[in-house]
Amino acid sequence: MENKPDNIQHTEQKVTLWDVLTLGLVFGAAIGGTTGGASDINGKLVISSYFWILLTVGCLVGVFCVRAIRTMGRFMFEFIDKSVQDPRYLNWSYSLVYLWALIWCIVSALLGFLCEKILRLIF
């Protein structure tokens, strides 16, 4: 039986619904929006230089959207914690923040789709 040294600290990191919404869905929706149109007439995925450009643009749009929603969410959570005192309104306020994150997920997919259409006009 070994004793662990005192300087090792164990921290538990939990993934919250907010992390899943912002990182998984918003980032994935942006990439899906840009690469959704990278198929030929028969519907098969064509992996070419155009696809890699779309993937890169999708990642950039995704990083922008995730950064925006996480910054906005931090300010919204701080505002709710400071200003709302009634527990009923507190629950509604948090629910509205999560609704905003879902709407932002749709916006990121539309931004990705718009970038794909602009790149299709360029290339």
- What is the Cα–Cα distance from 18 to 101, expressed in whole angstroms? 8
Across 47-71, average pLDDT: 90
Determine which of 17-21, 24-28, 72-76 has the lowest per-residue pLDDT on average. Answer: 17-21
Within a domain: 87: yes
Q: What is the pTM of this model?
A: 0.77
Query: What's the pLDDT at 19?
Result: 84
In-domain check, residue 53: yes
Q: Which domain holds residue 104?
A: 20-31+47-122
**Residue 58 belongs to some domain of the structure:** yes
DSSP structure string for 68-111? HHHHHHHHHHHHHHHH--SHHHHHHHHHHHHHHHHHHHHHHHHH
CA 54 – CA 34 distance, rounded (Å): 6
More confident residue, 17 or 5: 17
- Determine phi and psi for 4, rounding to 5 degrees: -80, 145
123 near 49, Cβ under 8 Å? no
- The span from the CA of 80 to the CA of 8, in Å, is 36
Q: Give the residue with greater pLDDT, 1 vs 91.
A: 91
105 within some domain: yes
pLDDT band at 5 (very low <50, low <70, confident <90, very high): very low
Q: 8 lies in a domain? A: no
* Position 36 confidence tier, pLDDT thresholds 50, 70, 90: confident
Average pLDDT rounded to a whole number, residues 28-34: 90
pLDDT band (50, 70, 90) for residue 46: low
Please tell me the total count of domains within the chain: 1
Q: 11 falls in which pLDDT band (50, 70, 90)? A: low
Residue 42 lies in a domain: no
Q: Which of 2-6, 20-24, 51-55, 88-92 is least confident? A: 2-6
